[in-house]
Amino acid sequence: MKNLLDGVEEILLMGPGPSCVPPEVYRALSRPTLGHLDPYFIGIMDELKLMLRTVMQTGNRLTFPVSGTGSAGMETCFVNLIEPEDPVLILVNGVFGTRMVDVAGRLGGAVDALPFEWGTPVDPQKVKEQLRKRHYKIVAVVHAETSTGVCNPVADVAALLDPDTLFIVDTVTSLGGMEVAADAWRADAMYSGSQKCLSVPPGLSPSTFSDRALQRIKGRKTKVPNWYLDMGMVIDYWDGAKRAYHHTAPINMIYALYQGLALILAEGLARVFARHQSMHHLLVTGLEKLGVEMLVSPNARLPMINAMKVPPGVDEAVCRAALRSKHKIEIGAGLGPLAGKIWRIGLMGHTARPENVDRFLGAMGEVLGRR
């Protein structure tokens, strides 16, 4: 029987995720698998937690990777902190804010969704007005909205919250590519994904919980309705003195995340952030020369997700297919109300390098007939 893995091509991943994986991370994945309670592996877990605290800029004791993708991280935060009828405010300006609303509603939360136009950032003044209408136990926002390329003003929102309101922040796309500061933002629960700016394959969701969040979890009136994601039990594996068995962790994926974080810290956070910003400017300058417009205003653009408008008369799906088949480059389409109207160009982690930007601009110019 033919092994289909023999036909897997190397594609330049310039969509909204996953990003390109560096060779050091691939080598980490191939290390011998240890048991999930092996003493040497526990040492790797302990070091990984410290590395995550540095990148997430937090002193939170419970900082670890959830065994699952970024959506599992989202569900972990909500399922542990929401109880039925809890007032929850979610700020929505894209797909992932909408997903938050869905998850919170399934948990029985009394959810208010405050909408903003897709492609524009959350307006703190409107958030302030909404907070006057009702006291919320939880407020949630997406820092880097992957579906639109918009950066939301997380710090400004945090400054509006009552002291007893818990703050949940999605950093799936931003962590490792721009400033993410859990403690400075007073984020009580924050989650990310391994496959974006951390340049690790999909499968882990770095997450952190504040002491306030842990107190809320311990004081719940009802049981956490998800066994696998119950922090009351998971903490005994990741942070317990005796490392109580909870589930079999994805050992080799944790190796990969360890190596991905090591590469970021070796380069230095400031240099990594500057590299992403520099590649963003290089891309935007090149697109402007091709006569392509950006969706998001300059002051709200993400460096790692660039939403470019599809030029009039151009079939966006045909262009994406040509980039993939002829040039071996993947980019993303628009979602929701932006479907068919934009392309999303990812410059995340290992992908954010000048040779990749130049290769994409040349290919896009050819596909558009504008070289």
pLDDT for the residue 243: 86
Q: Measure the CA–CA gap between 146 and 264, rounded to whole angstroms.
A: 21
pLDDT of res. 240: 72
Choosing from 220, 238, 265, the residue where a domain stops is 265
Over residues 21-73, the pLDDT tens digits come to: 999 999 999 999 999 999 999 999 999 999 999 999 999 999 999 999 999 99
Tell whether 143 and 215 lie within a shared domain: yes
Tell me, yes or no, if the pTM score tops 0.95.
yes
Could you tell me the two tokens for 183?
């403690």
Are the CB atoms for 65 and 254 separated by under 8 Å? yes
The CATH number that applies at residue 8 is 3.90.1150.10
**Residue that terminates a domain, selected from 216, 241, 265:** 265
Domain count, the chain: 2
Residue 371 has pLDDT above 70, yes or no: no
Average pLDDT for 199-226: 97
Query: Predicted confidence band at 281 (pLDDT cuts at 50, 70, 90)?
Result: very high
Mean local confidence (pLDDT), 117-125: 98
- Read off φ and ψ for residue 32, nearest 5 degrees: -60, 135
Label the pairing between strands 87-92 and 110-115.
parallel
3-state secondary structure of 57: coil
CATH number, position 240 = 3.40.640.10
Domain that residue 109 falls in: 23-265
Claim to verify: residue 150 and residue 240 sit in the same structural domain: yes
Helix ranges, the chain (H): 23-29, 39-56, 70-81, 95-106, 124-133, 154-158, 211-218, 231-238, 251-267, 269-289, 316-327, 354-368
Strand partners, 63: 208
| Distance from chain centroid for Cα 200 | 12
